Structure 1
Amino acid sequence: MSLLSVRDLTVKFAMRSETVTALDQISFDLGKGERLGIVGESGAGKSITGFSLMNLLSRPGYIDKGKILFGGEDIVQLSEARMRNIRGNRMAMIFQDPMVTLNPVLTIGQQMVETLMAHRKLSRVEAEHISVLKLREVYIPSPEERMGQYPHELSGGMRQRIIIAIALLLDPELIIADEPTTALDVTIQADIMELLLELCQSNKVGLILITHDLGVVSQMTERTLVMYAGRIIEAGPTREIINDPQHPYTQGLINALPQQTLPGHRLKQIPGNMPSLTAIPQGCPFNPRCEYATDVCRRVLPETVHFGQVEVACHEVSRLHGSANEEQSA
């Protein structure tokens, strides 16, 4: 049985003049200890997916339909009290900015100890001991001293390590990391990602990594979902998607990587912008930006088809796949 199974998840936002769809019937699975990447530009629906999995959506956003089965239990149907028991305890989230996550008026020790005591029947001494061990596990120097410090007294990289330590405090089965290195220097980003990978592998924790960086995904994850305008447009093994992308959007993301351009040449980019939720194009949402778009792409929403080990929602790939099947049948 999968650790996490998402089926036809649809999230909507009730705006003043209309209701818009932020996630459109997305489905995927995550096995125990598996690492999954979710990639796409800003506005693709990546973070909304993460918040939905934690049942942290607030009005005007809401889950319209679908199931989120975590350990066989549909968290969409759970009470807030039951959900609080799962958050932090069995699933944890690492947010983009550690200064927003950490309470500025509480010491690091207070925040870690209170988290432990809220979920476990521990004495304060026991909670402090576990907190120090977790700080040491994420390579925080002088952890006993850091317990008495406030977030503003620490560097950005140190704060993010502490966020990871807090996420691991209660030995969760799943960690959702939403752009965990956005606020950090490039030199520190690689260290944080390496640490997160090491800890997930050693503790056999499932990881969902939300990012716009395909380079990071290629090093961190086993499977990848590519999202566009609230839909999953390509999904499969990370190696397959990186080495042989099928959807034109995925191809564009990979071509836009700096290492794909010769020194001294202009970086490649996908023309246009992600559509607004209030103005999703008819047919394939990517068609206004796609050089391969046809009349069918502008009229009909593509269905997801299997192409080797990858699932892709694209009329062009569907036709090529159909042609290949016909040739094999002949």
Structure 2
Amino acid sequence: MSLLSVRDLTVKFSNRGQSVTALNGISFDIARGERVGVVGESGAGKSITGFAMMNLLSRPGYIDGGQVLFEGKDVLKMSAREQRSLRGNRMAMIFQDPMVTLNPVLTIGQQMVETLRAHRKLSHEEARQIATVKLKEVYIPSPEARLDQYPHELSGGMRQRIVIAMALLLDPQLIIADEPTTALDVTIQADIMELLLEMCRSNMVGLMLITHDLGVVSQVTERTLVMYAGRIIEAGKTRSIINDPQHPYTQGLINALPQQTPPGSRLKQIPGSMPSLNAMPSGCPFHPRCPLANDLCRTTMPKVVQYADVEVACHEVQRLQSDLTSEAAQ
């Protein structure tokens, strides 16, 4: 049994008496200790997926259907008390900006001790000792002194390390990391990702890494989900997707990487932009930007099919698969 199974998850947002679909029936699994990347442009539905998995959506957003099964139990049907016990305890989330995550009027120690005592029967001193150990694990210098400091007294990299330490406080089985290095310098980004990878490996923690950076995904994750307009359009082993992408959108993302362009040349980009939720095109949502689009793409939503080592939703890929099948039959 998978640690986490998401089935036909649909999320909508109310908009002036109408509703728009932000996630359209997505399904995927995460095994124990597995590292899964979720990539796509802004507006693809990556962060909403993470919030929906934790059932943290607030109005006007709401879950319209589907299941989020954690160890076989549907998170969406749990009572408020059961969900509080799950969040931060067995499922933890690392948000984009540590200054938003951390309470500016409480010391680091107060926040870590409070988190521990909310889920464990510990004395204040026992909780503080565990917090000190966790800060050491993420290479925070002088951890005991840091417990008495406020978030604004620490650097951005140190704050993000503390956020990771807080996510690991209660030894969760799954961490959802939503753009965990967005606000950091490039050198610090590498340190944070290396630390997160080390923590997941040493503790056999499952990781769902939400990012737009395919370079990070290629180094950290074992499997990748590519999202576009609220759908998963390609999924498979990270190495397969990076080395041999099948969907035109995934190909465009990889071709847009700076290292794919010779020095002095203009960077490649995917023409156009992500469609807005209230103006979604008919058929395949990527067809207005796709160089391979045909009449079928403009009218019919492609189904997800297995092709090579990945699952992909693309009419052109399905046509190639059909041609190969016909050739093999002959």
Deviations 1:219-246 (A, max 9, x none): 0100000000000000000000000000
- Residue 22 of structure 1 aligns to a residue in which SS? strand
Residue 242 of structure 1: aligned partner: 242
> 1:40 offset after TM fit, Å?
0.1
- Residue 253 of structure 1 aligns to a residue in which SS? helix
Residue 163 of structure 2: aligned partner: 163
Residue 115 of structure 1: aligned partner: 115
* Whole-Å separation in 1 of the counterparts to 2:280 and 2:247: 18
Residue 28 of structure 2: aligned partner: 28
* Whole-Å separation in 2 of the counterparts to 1:15 and 1:239: 40
- Residue 67 of structure 2 aligns to a residue in which SS? strand
- Residue 122 of structure 2 aligns to a residue in which SS? coil
In terms of mean alpha carbon deviation, does 13-22 or 185-194 score higher?
Answer: 13-22
Residue 288 of structure 2: aligned partner: 288
* Whole-Å separation in 2 of the counterparts to 1:277 and 1:80: 30
Aligned residue runs from structure 1 range 219-230, under 5 A: 219-230=219-230
> 1:17 offset after TM fit, Å?
3.9
Aligned length: 330
Structure 2 stretches lacking a partner, 5+ long: none
* Whole-Å separation in 1 of the counterparts to 2:72 and 2:228: 28
* Whole-Å separation in 1 of the counterparts to 2:133 and 2:120: 16
- Residue 109 of structure 1 aligns to a residue in which SS? helix
* Whole-Å separation in 2 of the counterparts to 1:8 and 1:125: 45
- Residue 45, structure 1, aligned to residue 54, structure 2: no
* Whole-Å separation in 1 of the counterparts to 2:321 and 2:92: 40
* Whole-Å separation in 1 of the counterparts to 2:192 and 2:108: 19
Residue 192 of structure 1: aligned partner: 192
- Residue 212 of structure 1 aligns to a residue in which SS? coil
* Whole-Å separation in 2 of the counterparts to 1:11 and 1:136: 39
Deviations 1:290-328 (A, max 9, x none): 010001000100000100220000000000011111111
Identical residues among aligned pairs (%) = 75
State the TM-score, normalized to the length of structure 1. Answer: 0.99
* Whole-Å separation in 2 of the counterparts to 1:191 and 1:55: 30
- 1:67 maps to amino acid: Q
Deviations 1:177-208 (A, max 9, x none): 00000000111000000000000000000000
Q: Please list every run of at least 4 consecutive aligned residues from structure 1 whose deviation after the TM superposition is greater than 4 angstroms.
A: none
* Whole-Å separation in 2 of the counterparts to 1:104 and 1:217: 31
- Residue 9, structure 1, aligned to residue 9, structure 2: yes
- Residue 316, structure 1, aligned to residue 316, structure 2: yes
Residue 59 of structure 2: aligned partner: 59
- 1:25 maps to amino acid: G
In terms of mean alpha carbon deviation, does 78-87 or 42-51 score higher?
Answer: 78-87
Residue 305 of structure 1: aligned partner: 305
Residue 151 of structure 1: aligned partner: 151
- 2:275 maps to amino acid: P
CA RMSD of aligned residues (A): 0.5
> 1:149 offset after TM fit, Å?
0.3
State the TM-score, normalized to the length of structure 2. Answer: 0.99
Residue 233 of structure 2: aligned partner: 233
- 1:239 maps to amino acid: R
- 1:95 maps to amino acid: F
* Whole-Å separation in 2 of the counterparts to 1:242 and 1:125: 48
